[in-house]
Structures are given as C-alpha cells and as structure tokens.
Structure 1
Amino acid sequence: MKVVIILAICALTAVAAVPIPEEERVSGENGWYIPQTDGSLVWVSIEEGEKMLDELENKEEIEGRLSTVPVSFYLYTNRNPSKKQKITETAKSINNSDFDASNPTRFVIHGWTQSYTAGMNKDIRAAWLGRGKYNVIIVDWARARSVDYATSVVAVPKVGKKVASMINYLVENFGMSLEETEVIGHSLGAHIAGYAGKNTKHGLLHAIVGLDPALPLFSYNKPNKRLNANDANYVESIQTNGGQLGFLKPIGKGAFYPNGGKSQPGCLLDVTGACSHGRSTSYYAEAVARDDFPSMSCGDYQEAVKDACGSSYSGVKMGAVTNAYMVNGDYYVPVHSSSPYGYGYA
C-alpha cells in the first residue's frame, strides 16, 4: 500500500500543470506537507491531495474496507484506574463492566500511528480520574496504524460514526447524559471527535476538545469534513503546531494558542513539528489536573500568533472545565519549556 500511495503522489505531481515553487507553498492554503512514518514530509497540492483521497476512498469502498474499520473501546473508572475493561455495544458487556451512567463520561481518541497504550491516553485518563468519579473510555482505532497517513485520513469519518454509535447506545440503553459527556481527540483523533459529534442522535455533546487538530489533507473552508465549532455545545481547540501538522486558523469556539500556536518552547530542532504537535496532549492533561494555564484574550487569531494580546490575564484558563459555559474567542497562552508548563493559578 505504501508503494501505491507514493507512486500515486509522484504520478499526480508529474501531471500537475503548474508546480508550486517551494517558496510559495503555504500548508493548508495551496497544498499540504504530508507526514511519512519515517518523519519526513512530502508536499502535495490541494488538487493532488483531494484527488488522492477520492481515489483511495473509492478503492476502499469497492473492497469493502471502510465498512469494516475496526474500533475498540476500553473503559477505566476509579474502580479500575489502570486495568482496562473492553466494552462493546451489548447489555452484557456494559453490565459486566464498571460503567456508571450517573458519573460524567470522557472519550479519548489518539492520533496517527498511535494506539490505546499511547502516553497521552494514560496521562489524560489519570488526570480525569484524579478529579473525581468519571467513566474514561479510550478509543483504539486500528487504521491509525496504517503505514500511510492518507489511508488513516480516509478512515476518519467511519471511525467517528462508530464512536457516535457507542455514545448513542449508552445514551439510549444506559441513560448516559450527553450534558456530561465530552470527547477529547488529538490530531486525526480531533477530527474523529468532530464526526462523532456530527452523528449523535439525541442532541449535542456537552463538549469536544481538539488537541492540535490535524491539518494535512483537511481544509479550513470545508468544516463539514473536519472538526468545527458546531460539533458540540462547546468546542475547544488547543493549537500548538499551527501551519504544519496542525491548523493555525481557529478551530474551536474557544481557540487557544500556547506560545502563539506554531511551535513550543523546549521542542528543539523540531523540524517535522512532532514535538510541538504532541505537546498539546501534555498541556491538556496538565490543565485537567492543575487548572494552571491562564490566558490573554485576543481580537483574532493573528494577534494570538504574534503574542499581541496585551499582558493582562483574561480570567479564562485553557482546558478549564468551566470553559463550556463562558468561552468564545481566541486566546494566547504563555507556557514554560518544561513541566509544569502552565504559568500557575493566576
């Protein structure tokens, strides 16, 4: 499959009428730098990338692969904080687990190349369970571990629908409250969270948190094909590698830009952006556990990127549990180069 995708990219590049000079390339505007498993980045134009996705999707529809996208759900609660319980959409499975619909529920979705054992899942799970009684459901989607990024992107909508199906099942059969349910996703997982929100049957999710939502092969001007601010009652985005692996333009109703949102302190020689991209998950876990990321309110995201939002704290903290009731806008967030990253309890 990897050879097929590389050949497809090369073929598409060869037939491009006017190749885009490197100095004119703006990721997300006239093309994307597509990440490879070896850490390198391959440029494709918007037209090339969209054609590649269409061809991949048609091929997988014919082969029936999109209808069998494997997704697993692992439950953790205060009664089983470190030992997973695999749950399925059956009464026997849920009844035999420690799921308690009277407690709030958090779904956590990893990004490309990762699995349910990823460090972000452990950190976020521990942060929520440290706050009190919660159902934390870790979503494992096997197509994240496809060799090629594009084949994982094609699976995103279907995975999101499967997450929504589990949410709908728990609401309908066990009384889980959407008002107390949040979905947290990193990178491609953020867009899966968006598709989950688009497909809930009984109202909107309370909140979705997108941790540096993936930019490559997603378009800002196509909000129905990515996470957007209407996918839940409140959508928050923590944007840490904007313009490279993540979006720079605001994704959430509340969009937070640590260190301006492009790169993060402490991520030295971060040529591929992987360090800054992953830092969003560390910030979020710390925000849940410590509530220590004060922010400055900005007129727009350009001000946040330039750190031109003044020096007075806004009273809004990135990742705060109360943000769903009060936040709307773009925010600059000062951060340290090492943990704890937040500037404290200001």
Structure 2
Amino acid sequence: MIMRDDEIQSKCYGELGCVDYTDQWYHSLHRPVNFFPLERHLIAVKFWVHTRSKPRSNLTLQVDDPGSVTRAGMDAQKDTKFIIHGFLDTGTDDWVQEMVQRLLDAGDMNVIAVDWRFGALPMYQQAMANTQLVAMETAHLIRWLQSSHGLNVSRVHIIGHSLGAQTAGYVGAGVPGLGRVTGLDPAEPGFQHMSPVVRLDPGDARFVDVIHSDARSFITSGLGMLQPCGHLDFYPNGGREQPGCGSYSDTISVFMESSVDDFEAELFACRHMRAVRFFTDSIGEGTSCSFIGHECGSYEQFLEVRCR
C-alpha cells in the first residue's frame, strides 16, 4: 500500500514493465491510497480465443508460443476484438459469451476474452490496482502478435466493462496506434476526476466510445463514471437511471427470464450492467432491438420530458 506522502515508488513485472506511482495517481478524496498489483502468477490472466470455426473453444493464447495461435485457429490478418470483464466477473460469464457470439455472427473475426478472475476478487482497492497488470499482460500479447504474426493494431478493438473499461484504457496507452476502445460504464471509484493517466480517456486509442448507464455518485450506490472520458460519450436514458432496474416486479421479471449469472448481475448491478446490454444489442445489422432517439434542445428539456 502506497500513500501520497511517500516518495515515487515503482514495482516491476519482468518483461511487462513497471508500475510507477507519481503524484498523478493520488487525490486526497478520490484516490488517497494505491496498492501495487498482485504477482503475475496470482492473477494468472488467460486469453480465451473464439473464432467462427471454434466459437466455443477452450483454447488460450500464450506469448512466445506460436503454436497457441495456430491451435486456436486465430488469423492475425482479421479484425480482433478483446473483451475485458470487471470486478467479481470472469471471462466465461454468460454476458461475455453472448457478446462473443453476437460479434462472431456479425463478422468473421477473432474475439479474445481476457479472463482475470483471480485478480478481480475482493477487495476492490486491490482489484483496482490489478487492472494495471492485466493491461500490461494484454498489451504485451498484442505487441507480440504484432511483431510475430503481423497483427495490425489499428484493427484491434478493446471492449471493457466497469474495471475492465479502465483496463482497456491502460491497454491502449501501452499499444500506440490501437484502433478502438469501448468503455461500458467505466468504474467510478478511484478513477473519476483523476488525471487521464489514471483513467480511460480519448488519448487511449484512435477512437474511444463510452456508454454510461449507472452514472450516479458512488455514495448513492452508483458504480459508473459520470465524467465524459471518450471521443463520444453516450448517456442512454440520462445515464443515471434505467427502466427496469430497481423495483420488486422488475427483479422478479429478470429472475424468470435470466440465467443465474445474469440474475445476480441484474439484481446487484442492474444499471451498471445495462451498458453491456445496450452494446450487445447494438451489434450487427438487423438486430431485433431498435434504439430510438429523441432530439432535445437542452438537458433541462430532457429532465422535463419535453424532447421531440
């Protein structure tokens, strides 16, 4: 644990590089304390590869093992999407698998689920720190694929939810020229109002788009950022409240229609997970869900429900 009053401190993780805590990483209110990430073998990041020929494979990529690329059926000349989960989630959760399948249905590409489940466990402050090492592992893999297999990083798209969205930003910072980062309700605690070095920001990729779905303050049980952090930030339904989240009848309805994993996510983080649903439902042409927009002259008109 590192406090602001200490000298600049650093911890290195072999070929991945070092984590350095400068003044930018501290704020008396928003981030008074920093932890170093856990050791690599404890977080044990895995990269599950999914392709159209092997959509449900249990194969992973390993840096410096070209055979792992061949076995997984990955073609580095195609578009590549990475999905990064957040706090208390895994890379094999139902929502990740559904997003993988929707992406593969929409195009012939590589989809890689970044699984850092052992680093995403309580407590939150340690998981928050672990995101840096997860990003370093992911960036290291991308750079290796670039140098050894000709991966075009401008065709790489990182999709992250919650802490995974902040992780995606760190990946982009470590891979110059990265094509796109999509942040799905980026985590607020420890990130909002911090320096762009600490959080997701437009400098992390050629294009950064963000969906904010639970942008209430953390002290009022919100989990996502209100602060804009992309080239394009969406605030569906205002970004703070979401239809279908909160009431008893809504909870029962979700229980009847969802798997156990989805129900737990909806019950405890309904608004926070809604960004995932918005993004997943937007993938591909001819989706069953159409998003309807209404033009508003001002935010005040939106609050008064006076949009056209």
Do these two structures clear the TM 0.5 threshold for a shared fold by scoring above it? yes
1:50 to 24, 28, 31: 31
CA pair 92-73 structure 1, distance change in 2 beyond 3 A: same
- Is 1:182 aligned to residue 122 of structure 2? no
Letter in 2 for 1:276: R
The share of aligned pairs that are identical, in percent, is 30
CA pair 296-233 structure 1, distance change in 2 beyond 3 A: farther
**Deviation, structure 1 residue 157:** 1.4
Give unmatched runs, 5+ long, in structure 2.
Answer: 2-26, 217-221, 252-265
1:297–1:309: 8 Å Cα contact kept in structure 2? no
- Is 1:72 aligned to residue 75 of structure 2? no
CA pair 308-252 structure 1, distance change in 2 beyond 3 A: farther
CA pair 296-173 structure 1, distance change in 2 beyond 3 A: farther
**Counterparts of 1:86 and 1:227 in 2: how far apart (Å)?**
27
Task: Provide TM-score, normalisation by structure 1.
Answer: 0.68
Superposed CA offset, 1:105-144 (max 9, x none) = 0000001001111122111101110112010000001344
**Counterparts of 2:56 and 2:206 in 1: how far apart (Å)?**
30
**Counterparts of 2:174 and 2:304 in 1: how far apart (Å)?**
37
Partner of 1:233: 206
Superposed CA offset, 1:162-207 (max 9, x none) = 111111111111111122110000000000000000001xx32111
CA pair 247-296 structure 1, distance change in 2 beyond 3 A: farther
1:141 to 94, 104, 116: 116
- Is 1:259 aligned to residue 249 of structure 2? no
- Is 1:293 aligned to residue 291 of structure 2? yes
**Deviation, structure 1 residue 68:** 5.8
Partner of 2:81: 106
**Counterparts of 1:220 and 1:299 in 2: how far apart (Å)?**
27
**Counterparts of 1:221 and 1:304 in 2: how far apart (Å)?**
30
CA pair 48-143 structure 1, distance change in 2 beyond 3 A: farther
2:43–2:119: 8 Å Cα contact kept in structure 1? no
CA pair 267-179 structure 1, distance change in 2 beyond 3 A: same
Give unmatched runs, 5+ long, in structure 1.
Answer: 5-45, 312-346
2:183–2:208: 8 Å Cα contact kept in structure 1? yes
**Deviation, structure 1 residue 305:** 7.2
CA pair 192-154 structure 1, distance change in 2 beyond 3 A: same
Query: What is the aligned length?
Result: 257
**Counterparts of 1:135 and 1:173 in 2: how far apart (Å)?**
17
Superposed CA offset, 1:197-240 (max 9, x none) = 0001xx32111100000001113241110111110010000100
Letter in 2 for 1:226: R
1:283 to 256, 270, 278: 278
CA pair 199-309 structure 1, distance change in 2 beyond 3 A: farther
Letter in 2 for 1:176: L
CA pair 306-144 structure 1, distance change in 2 beyond 3 A: farther
CA pair 304-110 structure 1, distance change in 2 beyond 3 A: farther
2:59–2:71: 8 Å Cα contact kept in structure 1? no
Letter in 1 for 2:170: Y
**Counterparts of 2:306 and 2:151 in 1: how far apart (Å)?**
40
Superposition RMSD on alpha carbons, in Å?
Answer: 2.8
Superposed CA offset, 1:235-275 (max 9, x none) = 00010000220011212111011111001100124999710
2:30–2:193: 8 Å Cα contact kept in structure 1? no
- Is 1:216 aligned to residue 214 of structure 2? no
**Counterparts of 1:217 and 1:272 in 2: how far apart (Å)?**
24
1:123–1:282: 8 Å Cα contact kept in structure 2? no
Partner of 1:327: none
Question: Does the residue aligned with 1:50 lie in a helix, a strand or coil?
Answer: coil
- Is 1:82 aligned to residue 56 of structure 2? yes
2:128–2:163: 8 Å Cα contact kept in structure 1? yes
Q: Within 5 Å, give how 1:101-180 maps onto structure 2.
A: 101-180=76-155
Question: Does the residue aligned with 1:86 lie in a helix, a strand or coil?
Answer: coil
CA pair 299-124 structure 1, distance change in 2 beyond 3 A: farther
Question: Does the residue aligned with 1:87 lie in a helix, a strand or coil?
Answer: coil
Question: Does the residue aligned with 1:147 lie in a helix, a strand or coil?
Answer: coil
CA pair 190-229 structure 1, distance change in 2 beyond 3 A: same
**Counterparts of 1:150 and 1:298 in 2: how far apart (Å)?**
39
Task: Provide TM-score, normalisation by structure 2.
Answer: 0.75
Question: Does the residue aligned with 1:164 lie in a helix, a strand or coil?
Answer: helix
